[in-house]
Structure 1
Amino acid sequence: MDYIILDIEFNGRKFASELPMEVIEIGAVRLDASLNAVSEFSSLVKPVYFSKLNNFIKKKTGIPQDEIDVAPGFPSVIADFEAWLGDAGSFLLVTWGGEDVKRIVFDTRMHKLNETYWTGLHYFDLLKGYLRYKKVTNDVSVEAALLDLDIPAEGSAHRALDDARMTSEVFRKIFPDLDFELKQQYKDQFSNSKERRLVKNAVRTMLAQKKPQTWEALVESYLGEKIPLTDPRKAAELRDYFHSELDKKQ
């Protein structure tokens, strides 16, 4: 089996907006079963919205505006990328966090393309694997992991292919200690990390103060108007998260 080390860059927005963020660069390194790099994929992507990169993104990534202006659109790039990847059962996708797969799924949906390829494949979150390896809980960047593992950082951070190359070095270094049974598939989430953290902290408070430990009590006393629960999918997801956290604490 091959291992595909994936990294993407996506555009941000200076002010809050209902318009979506979009993938603006895809980079990937293919490692064979012996962890040798055998091929690479790299492409810029011209976004539909926020086609003019703001100063933060330009400074962070170093991507020139004139190159974005002439880049192919997402449908063309993702078709080329899927062709390069090949059969989803022939490789395991490796990412640093879960955002990369999420952004690709979101852009696939935005362009009304078939998302089955991306929602059906398995990926391994190397960030979580690294945190388990180090027995720590705070997220770290790829650059910090390289420094900690005494691996020289080469290339430009926040350029997709260079980041994929650096991530592959971390992957090689800790490969024997990774548990690939913990691979994942994309799953929609209707709540964000801030909302889940609020529920988690509320569970801790409820237990410490010996208050009733029910979902209804949590909503009434801790969530209130802090989290809108009008979407039944979000409510169900947070309720399941509440019970999961309660079980862990008890």
Structure 2
Amino acid sequence: MHYIVFDLEWNQPYTLEPNMIRRSGFPFIGEIIQIGAVKLDESLQIVDQFEVFITPKFLPIMHHSVEKLTHITMDKLRKEGVSFRRGCEKFLRFVGSDGILVSWGPDDINMLMDNAFCHKVHVHQEVPWFDAQSLYAKTMHDCSQQYALQKAMDEMQVQAPNLQAHNGLHDAICTAMVCQRFPFLEALQKKREKQGKQRCFYGLSRHEHKIFESIVTMPRIFRQSNRAKTACPVCKEPLQLDPIVGVVKHRFLSMGSCKEHGTFGVHWYVGKSISKHLGKRYYVSKMVTNAPKGLRELYARKK
């Protein structure tokens, strides 16, 4: 068994307006431009490391704040980057058949799944994932507060003078060093025993994607029948939807069942748009996907 501590850097769109989503075909908040990771053995010693730069496909213009923060330029990505499909496949080989993913906070695993989804990367197995940030907060402070990685490094007296923040590989190394300084393995074991099932990295396949615009208030998003009704992607009969639950921030999820073709995942991504004439409005990007075991377990936990 190995622990794969990873960190991602991603480019951001200049706007998340519905028209931009339609043009790019990319409904998420970031496209990965760097994957950095280190492999830890069962005693949490670093035994290998991994880094790959990704040339973005959907967001080919680097956001100025991302470039300033990461010092990654689009010129560098064009020269040194590979496609996300190739980079992710290399990363999955690095993870191996016995790897357990670890990241500081939930943003990286969500971003990894979003990008694998949009780039149609086949994930051949469900890889367990754990949040080192939440384990640290619970173990060291008995709370659920989100501690910044630098704060945890200061508290654990982790010195990394030659490592640069907002670099995927360097942040992965810093996260690993924090895990070495607090009872990470004990906390992880308690989490597994308490939770029973851990969250996983798994693959999704898109069957349908629609965008609904100009919704006045949040409560109306799922109340209107034309947004709640969803058809089976195979026979086009209405899916029987389970209750919609919040997953994280702007993400919502339901399971839809068809008597003949089984269960599908129904995902909603809620965003805000500002209209010069109408003011603030909400829009919903809705997708229907397959429903692998990991997605069904995530829904059951959130429900």
Write the letter of the residue equivalent to 2:118: M
The reply to whether residue 143 of structure 1 matches residue 153 of structure 2 is: no
Q: Matched residues in 2 for 1:37 and 1:11: separation?
A: 28
Q: Matched residues in 2 for 1:176 and 1:49: separation?
A: 38
Specify the alignment match of 2:96 in structure 1.
86
After TM superposition, the score normalised by the length of structure 1 is 0.73
Task: Write the deviation string for residues 18-48 of structure 1: whole angstroms up to 9, x where unpaired.
Answer: 2342111000000111221111000110111
Specify the alignment match of 2:104 in structure 1.
96
Q: Matched residues in 1 for 2:242 and 2:62: separation?
A: 32
Runs (4 or more) in structure 1 with deviation over 6 Å come to none
User: Are the structure 2 counterparts of residues 35 and 54 from structure 1 closer, same or farther at C-alpha, using a change threshold of 3 Å?
Assistant: same
Query: 1:141-220 to 2 correspondence within 5 Å?
Result: 141-154=148-161, 155-174=163-182, 175=184, 177-183=186-192, 184-186=198-200
The reply to whether residue 126 of structure 1 matches residue 149 of structure 2 is: no
Specify the alignment match of 2:34 in structure 1.
25
2:120 to 103, 112, 123: 112
Deviation of residue 176 (structure 1)? 5.1
Partner of 1:4: helix, strand, or coil?
strand
The reply to whether residue 5 of structure 1 matches residue 5 of structure 2 is: yes
Structure 1 range deviating more: 133-142 or 50-59: 133-142
Deviation of residue 113 (structure 1)? 2.2
Deviation of residue 236 (structure 1)? 2.2
Q: Matched residues in 2 for 1:112 and 1:179: separation?
A: 31
Q: Matched residues in 2 for 1:170 and 1:105: separation?
A: 25
Specify the alignment match of 2:67 in structure 1.
58
Partner of 1:78: helix, strand, or coil?
helix
Q: 2:32·2:56 contact (CA, 8 Å) conserved in 1?
A: yes
Partner of 2:245: helix, strand, or coil?
helix
Q: 1:109·1:115 contact (CA, 8 Å) conserved in 2?
A: no
Which ranges in structure 1 are unaligned for 5 or more consecutive residues? 189-223, 242-250
Task: Write the deviation string for residues 132-186 of structure 1: whole angstroms up to 9, x where unpaired.
Answer: 0112332121111101222113411111000000000111111254133425224
Q: Matched residues in 1 for 2:57 and 2:132: separation?
A: 30
Query: 1:41-80 to 2 correspondence within 5 Å?
Result: 41-70=50-79, 71-80=81-90
> How many residues are matched?
202
Q: Percent identity?
A: 23
Specify the alignment match of 1:212 in structure 2.
none
Query: 1:234-245 to 2 correspondence within 5 Å?
Result: 235-238=243-246
Which ranges in structure 2 are unaligned for 5 or more consecutive residues? 193-197, 203-215, 230-240, 247-251, 254-303
Partner of 1:178: helix, strand, or coil?
helix
Q: 1:124·1:180 contact (CA, 8 Å) conserved in 2?
A: no
Q: Matched residues in 1 for 2:135 and 2:90: separation?
A: 29
Q: Matched residues in 1 for 2:100 and 2:94: separation?
A: 14
Specify the alignment match of 1:226 in structure 2.
218
User: Are the structure 2 counterparts of residues 125 and 234 from structure 1 closer, same or farther at C-alpha, using a change threshold of 3 Å?
Assistant: farther
- RMSD across aligned C-alpha pairs, in angstroms? 2.6
Deviation of residue 74 (structure 1)? 0.4
After TM superposition, the score normalised by the length of structure 2 is 0.61
Q: Matched residues in 1 for 2:153 and 2:242: separation?
A: 37
